[in-house]
Structure formats: structure tokens, C-alpha cells
Amino acid sequence: MSTSKGDCPPVTELDVQHDINTGNAAPIMMKRRHQAQTEYAVIEDNVAKMLQAGVIEKGNGAWGFPVVLVRKTDGEVRFCIDCRALNKVTKRDVYPLPRIDETLDALRGARLFTTLDLRSGYWQIGVAPEDQDKTAFTTKQGLYRFVRMPFGLMNAPSTFQRMMNEVLRGLTWTTCLVYLDDIVVFTRGGLESHLVQLATVSERLSVAELTLKLKKCVFATRQMEYLDMSSAVMAYAP
């Protein structure tokens, strides 16, 4: 099981990348939005960190989208790219995400749980070289493009779920469940059985060079919170 203490994990060793199929659509270059000086400082700080981490690089293509800053409920500001115009011309990937009701059914009767969280999961997948220009964004300092898969792209969840289903093929629904970068290992037996199952899942993640965010992982607990979606926390206990 690979772990990381930094903000940016390595790219997975799997043969997977994110494609952005825009067909014959013409390149889109959108006007940069005005930001206050305090917002600009946040943007430049994020850009500097992503450049250093190898998440982005300088761009020189014909595509470009504006940066938006989104304030989260805890007050932290999240750096985002407004990809709506790009998503409108992108061919949809219909690969499905797991149904939550089926996830609930699979967990019934389980006695022990371990929840695993991938560190910056999307950044562990590279963007196809021929599509990197389509991820570009503009700042006062110029044009940059993503080398690793960013949030906001229409098909990013499908790309990520497809990869995780492949990594954990044969284990999902019986040993573990995976919803994007959230993994839960569940056991209907005792601690010994749970540790064996956890080791099996961990080995799969290690082979794929997928990196965990340890501070968000919870091991061998009798109750948990999973899939906090639309303010509905799913809690399970034996």
C-alpha cells in the first residue's frame, strides 16, 4: 500500500489516461475573469504549487478557460477551472458509477470496516498528451495546462471509476466497495478475516502505485460514515 505525506502523489503505473473527445469542435479561448488582489494571490499560490508538483505546465495552445475560486463550508478556498464550455463540446463517457442503494445492500450484515481514501485521486491519472491543451487556463501570468486530470471535466468521474474497478476487479461487492476515490473494505467475520481482506486490497493498490491519504483512512472500525452525498451521511453499524 503506497502512502504519501505530500500534496501530490505520483501518477499511477497503470496504462490509463484521461481523454477529452471534442470531435470537430473549434478550440475555445475564454476571457480571463477579474479577480481581487487577495484572490489573485490565492491563484498564484496554487499555480506555483501545481507547477512544482508537476500537475500543470506552461501552455501555448488555442484553448483556455477562466479560473474560479470556490469557498468551501470550512472557509477554505478551492482553486477551480470553469470547464462548462469545454464540457458542452465533449462527447460523454457513459461508464456508470455504483448505485448507492446497491452499495447499502452489499454492506448489510458487515461487522468490521476499513475506509481508505486516495490522496488527490484525480491527480494520480495523467491527461492524454494530445488533449492537454484542452485543459488550459489563464491567469495574469499567462497560460497553463494540466498534465494530470483536474476536477471539473465532465468525464473525469467515469475515467476514475473505470480505473478503480479494474484495479479491484474480483474484490468489489464481496470484499470491498469503491466509489471514485472512496474505498471501504468490509467483513462479516472477525478481525483476522478483516486483516486478510485488507491486505488483499492493499496489495492491489500497491501494484497500481495508487497512494493513500493516511489521515483520512480509518482501520478496522465497527461503524463508519461512507458516501456523504447531498448532505445525507450513510452510517452503518453491526
End-to-end CA distance of the chain: 27
Q: What is the CA radius of gyration of the chain?
A: 19
Judge if pTM exceeds 0.75.
yes
Of 119, 82, 98, 211, nearest in space to 162 by CA:
98
What is the DSSP code (8-state) at residue 69? E
Q: Which CATH architecture does the domain made up of 2-236 adopt?
A: Roll (3.10)
Task: Give the pLDDT confidence score for residue 10 in this predicted structure.
Answer: 61
CA distances to 44, 77, 80, 231 from 72, rounded to whole Å, are 19, 6, 12, 14
DSSP per residue, 111-138: -EEEEEEBTTGGGGSEEPGGGGGGG-EE
Instruction: Say how many CA atoms lie within 13 Å of 54 toward its Cβ.
Output: 8
Q: What is the pLDDT of residues 189-203, one digit of tens each?
A: 899 999 999 999 999
CB 89 within 8 A of CB 23: yes
57, β-bridge pairs: 145
The predicted model gives 39-43 an average pLDDT of 90
Share of the chain above pLDDT 70, in %: 89
234 burial (CB, 10 Å; 0-12 / 13-18 / 19+) is: middle
**Which one has a higher pLDDT value, 8 or 189?**
189
Q: What is the pLDDT of residues 109-162, one digit of tens each?
A: 899 999 998 887 888 899 999 999 999 999 999 999 999 999 899 999 999 999
Reading the block at residue 38, the C-alpha cell is: 487577495
Task: Give the pLDDT confidence score for residue 25 in this predicted structure.
Answer: 97
Task: Give the pLDDT confidence score for residue 1 in this predicted structure.
Answer: 35
The predicted model gives 80-100 an average pLDDT of 95
The structural domains of the chain, with segments of one domain joined by +, span 2-236
Q: Which residue has the cell 469542435?
A: 25
Mean pLDDT of the chain, nearest integer:
87
